[in-house]
Structure 1
Amino acid sequence: MRSASDDLTARARIREAAIRAFARDGFDAASLRAIAKEAGVSAALIVHHFGNKNALRTACDDYVVAAFIDDKHELIETPTADRVRAALHDVERYGPYIDYLGRMLGDRSPAADRLFDEIVRVTRDMLDEQREAGLLVEMSDPEMTTLLVVMMGLAPVMMRAQVGRMLGQDQLSPAGMVRTTLPTLELLTHGIYSSTAFLDGARQALASDKPSEGGAS
């Protein structure tokens, strides 16, 4: 007779196998049969625990989101304010969750939107703190700048394989993170242009496109 602890263990194995399969193959391509084989259970047991493939995906979504935003999540041993940053420093452990996160953000789901909103909030708070400390230059649109910083941070997650292929190493590995650190800070600190010509031109062009206060003549 199957015990409650056996059920919990099987449920966790199924969830972990599904996270790996969905991240690797995509939701549509990953089958319950393949997930069951990877988890060492029967497909019927997946149905017993989760009902169907869509419900299994929802459970995986919720688990991965919680791993990045919930202080009490079982995966988090030392909670920090930035779950994604903590995960990127422990790629071997979090690798499947990072890959799953990339799939989530690309496929769109309520859970993915919730996670994205949380990442934006954390980034906004970080930039607000740095602005109050006098570390940031004046920005024409702080909210858009926040989104650009978020996109820069998530790009290696969503394009992990492509970036790794170009670099010849996993950009999210310790060595890859070391290689990324200085160029990222150089870009954020100094930019890449030695002249303000492009910025000045854009400001002038955008200013000339604004309607006059009195409206069209």
Structure 2
Amino acid sequence: MPTAPAKPNRGDARVALVAAGRKLFAQQGYDATTTRQIAAEAAVSHALLRYHFSSKAGLRDAVDDDVLGSFTHAVASAREEGTDHGDLAEVGRATALLFGADQERRRYVRRVLVDGDDRAAALLARLVAGAERELERLLPQPSALPPEQRRWAAYQTLFLILGPLLLEPALHTVLGSDPFAPETLAERSHANQRLLQHGLFD
């Protein structure tokens, strides 16, 4: 007689709930997903969800932290494995490590941004803040940029990263291949770096 899959222990339950929330929020949207569905997907009791996160909103915040934390870890990994430090190649490698390997996180970010509610604005604001920190680190003299360029630099960098993520389903059809396949992602990353460093018409 087959045995039922083991349920996560209390220590693993939090991780399982974040993963289940990320998956279901991406598939169904935040409003359409219930905490009972998330607990069932994670194979834990509903009480454990309340214990760890208090509410669906608390779990949503934890999922956002998980997704943005993954980018921080990816940047750190890119620095460790890269031969060139302190340049745009690190961010390119980090983008490849995070979005290239993790379709579920791509779907989650796409769903949040497309839903366009207050959460979308909050997540985008955090992404912009992270991009601003990276640009401060990467640019030799950020203060040398004119104010209007400095204001938009983080957004322009994010547009290059988020554009393919938001357009992924249509882009797949137009290209005739996976736009996040490793070789395509590497080629696009190099093209983005050239664009950022030299400009399109300079």
TM-score range, shorter chain: 0.5 to 0.7
Separation of aligned partners in 1, 2:92 and 2:186: 17
1:57 Cα shift? 0.5
Structure showing greater relative contact order (alpha-carbon pairs closer than 8 Å, 6 or more residues apart)? 2
Separation of aligned partners in 2, 1:65 and 1:173: 22
Structure 2 spans left out of the alignment, 5+ residues: 1-7, 80-85
Written as runs of structure 1 = structure 2, the 5 A alignment for 1:61-140 is 61-69=64-72, 78=77, 80=79, 85-89=93-97, 91=99, 93-106=101-114, 107=116, 108-123=120-135, 125-126=137-138, 128-129=139-140
TM-score calculated relative to the size of structure 2: 0.67
Amino acid corresponding to residue 15 of structure 1 in structure 2: V
TM-score calculated relative to the size of structure 1: 0.63
CA contact (8 A) 1:164 1:170 kept: yes
Gap change, CA 1:129 and 1:7, over 3 Å in 2: same
Hey, what does 1:135 align to over in structure 2?
none
1:105 Cα shift? 4.1
CA contact (8 A) 2:92 2:193 kept: no
Hey, what does 2:150 align to over in structure 1?
143
Gap change, CA 1:102 and 1:83, over 3 Å in 2: farther
* Count of aligned pairs between the two proteins: 179
CA contact (8 A) 2:17 2:42 kept: yes
CA contact (8 A) 2:20 2:41 kept: yes
Separation of aligned partners in 1, 2:185 and 2:62: 31
1:141 Cα shift? 4.1
CA contact (8 A) 2:67 2:105 kept: yes
Separation of aligned partners in 2, 1:110 and 1:123: 20
1:90 Cα shift? 5.2
Separation of aligned partners in 2, 1:15 and 1:180: 30
Matched, 1:168 2:176: yes
Aligned-CA RMSD value: 3.6
Gap change, CA 1:66 and 1:90, over 3 Å in 2: closer
Amino acid corresponding to residue 17 of structure 1 in structure 2: A
1:26 Cα shift? 1.8
Separation of aligned partners in 1, 2:137 and 2:26: 30
Gap change, CA 1:76 and 1:96, over 3 Å in 2: farther
SS of match in other structure, 1:78? helix
CA contact (8 A) 2:142 2:150 kept: no
Over alpha carbons, which structure has the higher Rg? 1
Q: Which has the higher helix share?
A: 2
Matched, 1:57 2:60: yes
CA contact (8 A) 2:95 2:161 kept: no
How many percent of aligned residue pairs carry the same amino acid?
25
Deviations 1:55-95 (A, max 9, x none): 110111122222223x5xxx888363756742423546433
Structure 1 spans left out of the alignment, 5+ residues: 133-137, 197-217
Pick from 185, 192, 196 the counterpart of residue 177 of structure 1. 185
